[in-house]
Amino acid sequence: MNQGWQTFLESRSLSCSADSPQSIEQTTDFVSPLHADGLLLGRGEEAGEFLQNQLGNDLRQVDGSHSQLSGYSSPKGRLLAVPRVLRRNNDYLLRLPAEILEATLQRLRMYVLRAKVELRDAGDELACFGAAGETAASLLEAQLGELPGAVDAATQCAAISALRVAAAGSAPRYELYGPAAALQPLWLALVEGGCAELGADAWRLGDIRAGLPNIYAATRESFVAQMANLHLVNGLSFKKGCYPGQEIIARMQYLGQLKRRCYLFDITAGECPRPGDELFDAADKSAGQILDAAPAGPGHYAALAVLRIAHAGQTLHCGAADGPPAEPRPLPYAFDGE
């Protein structure tokens, strides 16, 4: 992470949702660090072509006015990362969890060969944060002059890139990218205008409620893209050319072999579940794995989990059949055919 940005955030005394006396979901307008704040930069005249051949979405659609989620998979079709991809001038910027940034960089660099592309960690020069709510939107528009109106749309204002991302409800959510020196006064303007300052868990919770998947070190190479619902959140293209794992992903899509999907749960437990933790049914048989989880209030957590479809709609338990209960909740989008 950018050192100046980290120092700025440490000075702000951000509220932690796990310690809040009320549900963090009662806070309608807030700013928050992005929970997955690793930034990977692709630069060079062949950067677009190179990334197009590596990622599962169609990067030809990514420009100054459009961002996208995309899957990066192994040749066996298993997800290695789910970056948010955007353009800044002629560069590509990929946001993903810092804990898998170096592994992702190393793997991508294996395939550069003679391509005219530079891949590196951009955390020293760029930073990012999230802003949610109608008040935040009005304040951002006053500061930036224009905001993206649709999910995945983007706008550019001087050094700042603004993206609109999916939300579970009607209140908008935006991600802001740029140099720390440009983001700090923007953050302060939002706070002075009435936005609460919350910790990174708040943004992670918003992603989970919106059904947006992420991959962490514990779940790398665990799921095919459709198991994480990536195709349902505009994160996967079935019309682009070849990329690692494409044959397996296409076969699952067109031959109806999908046996696991991602579902949303509310969990009451003493501590937050972790990516990779197992869920069990009443017979103490493994039903699936936690994909992502975040605090929503004291002893209360929201989680995405990849389950066998046969377990859909059941109350499951974390860790064992007598572990903390996981109650199913509706996602904000429908599955294929529903």
- Phi and psi at 176, nearest 5°, equal -115, 130
Range of the domain at 136: 3-209
Six-digit token pair at 164?
Answer: 């609109």
> What was the pLDDT predicted at 18?
47
Six-digit token pair at 38?
Answer: 């690793």
Overall number of domains in the chain = 1
SS3 177: strand
Residue 221 falls inside a structural domain = no
DSSP structure class, residue 35? S
Closest residue by Cα to residue 40 from 80, 86, 73: 86
Listed as own residue / partner, the contacts of 7-14 with beta carbons closer than 8 Å and 24 or more positions apart are 8/180, 8/184, 8/187, 9/33, 12/197, 13/197, 14/197, 14/198, 14/199
Residue 79 falls inside a structural domain = yes
Tell me the C-alpha distance between 116 and 90, whole Å.
13
Residue 190 falls inside a structural domain = yes
Six-digit token pair at 206?
Answer: 């918003």
Six-digit token pair at 326?
Answer: 């996981």
CATH number of the domain bearing residue 76:
3.30.1360.120
Six-digit token pair at 58?
Answer: 């169609």
Give the CB-side neighbour count of residue 10, counting CA atoms within 13 A.
7
DSSP string over 179-228: -HHHHHHHHHHHHHTT-EEB-HHHHHHHHHHTT-----GGGTTS-BGGGG
Q: How many residues does the chain have?
A: 338
> What was the pLDDT predicted at 255?
83
SS3 299: coil
> What was the pLDDT predicted at 241?
87
Tell me the residue type at 320.
Answer: A
SS3 45: coil
Closest residue by Cα to residue 128 from 153, 103, 166, 159: 159
Residue 162 falls inside a structural domain = yes
> What was the pLDDT predicted at 192?
97
CA angle 334, 335, 337 (to 5 degrees): 105
Residue 290 falls inside a structural domain = no
For the chain of 338 residues, list the mean pLDDT of each consecutive stretch of 10: 86 68 72 90 97 97 97 97 96 97 97 93 95 97 96 96 96 97 97 95 95 98 97 95 94 86 96 96 94 93 96 92 95 82
CA 44 distance to own-chain centroid: 25
Six-digit token pair at 258?
Answer: 């999908």
What is the chain's alpha carbon radius of gyration, rounded to the nearest angstrom?
19
Residue 149 falls inside a structural domain = yes
Q: 50 CB contacts (<8 Å, ≥6 apart)?
A: 42, 44, 111, 112, 115, 117
Residue 309 falls inside a structural domain = no
> What was the pLDDT predicted at 16?
63
Tell me the C-alpha distance between 57 and 67, whole Å.
11
**Helix axes of 180-192 and 3-10: crossing angle, nearest 10 degrees:** 20
Tell me the C-alpha distance between 117 and 110, whole Å.
12
Residue 92 falls inside a structural domain = yes
pTM over 0.85: yes
> What was the pLDDT predicted at 253?
87
CB 324 within 8 A of CB 270: yes
